[in-house]
Amino acid sequence: MKDESARMGSKIAVIGTGYVGLTTGACLAHLGHDVICADIVPEKVEALNRGEIPILEAGLDDLVHEGLRSGQLRFVLGSEHAVDDAEFVYLCVPTPQGEDGSADLSYIEAAAQQIGPHLQSEAIVINKSTVPVGSTFVVEQALGRADVSVVSNPEFLREGSAVHDFLNPDRVVIGAEDQGAAIRVAGLYLGLAAPLQVTDPASAETIKYASNAFLATKISFVNAIAAVCEAVGADVNDVVLGMGYDKRIGNAFLRPGPGWGGSCFPKDSRALVRIAEDAGYDFDLLKGVITVNEEQFERVADKIEHMAGGAVEGKTVAVWGLTFKARTDDMRDSPALEIVRRLRARGAVVQAYDPSVEEPGDPRLDGIEIATDPYAACAGAEVLAILTEWDEFKWLDFDKVGETMAAKRVVDARNLVDRTALLRRGFVYQGIGRA
Ligand code: UGA
């Protein structure tokens, strides 16, 4: 619901139209602000102005269309054309992983240098990119403007539910040296019902890394517990249910699986290890979390190989799911691709289906046969591996799946499908952390 008090919109520029920038821009326009989003790719800007959304993100197309129709959302080429009128400028550019694991700040510095000369006096630059502690200062330096404040305002959006997360946040965190600037930024979120935390920039930047690292820790922990469950004959689903009733633990983010991936956790966890190391702290715990995750890819590949009779060399393996999680078309650092890569290295022929992957064209898919439907992926397969938790996989006709396969064997790396129904149909079934 829009709050009427937010209707008195501010003039906002958003630099970068990746999933964070585009979601931020579209949602701020929806909250009543006047938003110009800038990108450096001409085709992307043209497509966005036509209302074509380059990513799969629930509800985002509706908000972009709404903004374009009302005129409150526009897309321009080049950041300098977006900022001259802006009271607030969001930096939403990528911070990829540098060679030594640290975050590469070159995009953010370049963006700041570019907009610096064009900013209004008293404008506020808001950093939404995930950046190491101290980057607010780096941005200040790159802007070279003493009359402009820089504020850290980390995002906590999940791909696939980014619009929902933006409009229904668990919290809004603002890190600023200048309290006046913090209050002005807080005003942008008046339409949202969420706790607001104002802190210093270093703490805000650390909140972002610590949150992602903690979530990754939860998942690695549950994957390690799943390994214990397999060894002692327990069922991880029941174990997690029992743990989750404890309010101190909670049941969120305790789903065992093939390991965590995506564009954030792998990069941010390594960056935090590096940030700590540079500051003189050896973050052994987080290193362990990363190791458990890498072992999980191997464990799942081993499971599939074992299910295929001990070797996959020359055998066909069907794979359902290639994206790093369901409801996104993002394959960056996807555990599914990690596992497929291991299977192929062991000589398997991989036939894969993913509802959001239509064409082989992507180099990450080289050597994988992309099927046009889930049944075709199973043709002649010795084993089916379910690697991404797309809902639609649950409702497929498993009699048909069984008829298509060379052998009725399933490794369900997401504990997604109905195990009993499969066993009844004569499948051999293996999940994660349970028989
Ligand atoms: C993550 C965080 O959840 C967001 O809060 C954060 O804003 C974002 O990174 C970011 O830094 O930009 P996202 O990468 O979209 O969001 O994906 P998640 O939903 O967190 O999932 C990450 C990985 O963990 C996926 O591979 C997923 O399959 C896996 N996962 C998640 C599990 O294996 N088990 C779970 O219980 C939850």
What pLDDT is attached to residue 2? 43
**Residue 318, H or E segment:** strand 316-320
| Best mutation site among 265, 269, 416 for ligand 1 pocket (most ligand atoms within 8 Å of CB) | 265
What's the CA gap between 110 and 142, in Å, rounded? 8
Å from CA of 80 to ligand 1 middle? 33
Tokens of 363: 């180099």
**Catalytic site includes residue 378:** no
The amino acid that residue 419 corresponds to is R
**What CA dihedral angle connects 208, 211, 215 and 217, to 10 degrees?**
100
Residue 191, pLDDT score: 84
Sequence-ordered list of residues with C-beta below 8 angstroms from that of 82, at least 6 positions apart, any chain: 13, 14, 15, 36, 37, 38, 76, 89
Q: Which atom of ligand 1 is nearest to the CA of 162?
A: 15
- Vertex 106 angle, CA 157 and 17, to 5°: 40
Within 6 A (CB) of ligand 1 lie 130, 155-159, 212, 215, 219, 253-255, 257, 260-262, 264-265, 268, 324-325, 335
> Using a CB cutoff of 8 Å and minimum separation of 24, what contacts does 53-56 make?
53/22, 55/19, 55/22, 55/328, 55/329, 55/330, 56/160, 56/327, 56/328, 56/329, 56/356
Q: Cα-flanking dihedrals φ and ψ of residue 239, to 5°?
A: -60, -45
d(CA 187, CA 304): 52
* DSSP label at residue 433: S
pLDDT of 8 reads 66
Of the candidates 408, 392, 387, 403, the one whose C-alpha atom is nearest the C-alpha of residue 335 is 387
Q: What is the pLDDT of residue 134?
A: 86
> What is the model's pLDDT at position 95?
87
Strands (E), 40-170: 73-77, 88-91, 124-127, 149-152
CB neighbour list of residue 361: distance below 8 Å, 6 or more residues apart: none
CA dist 357 → 54, 326, 369 (Å):
13, 12, 12
Instruction: Tell me how long the chain is.
Output: 435
Q: What is the DSSP letter of 435?
A: -
Q: Which of 127, 237, 260 to mutate to test the pocket of ligand 1 (most atoms within 8 A of CB)?
A: 260
Closest residue by CA, ligand 1 atom 3: 158
Residue 323 alpha carbon to ligand 1 centre in Å? 12
Question: Residue written as tokens 């920038």?
Answer: 21
**Active-site residue identified among 27, 92, 264, 378:** 264
Global confidence as pTM: 0.94
Token code pair at residue 98: 């540098």
Residues of the chain with pLDDT below 70 are 1-8
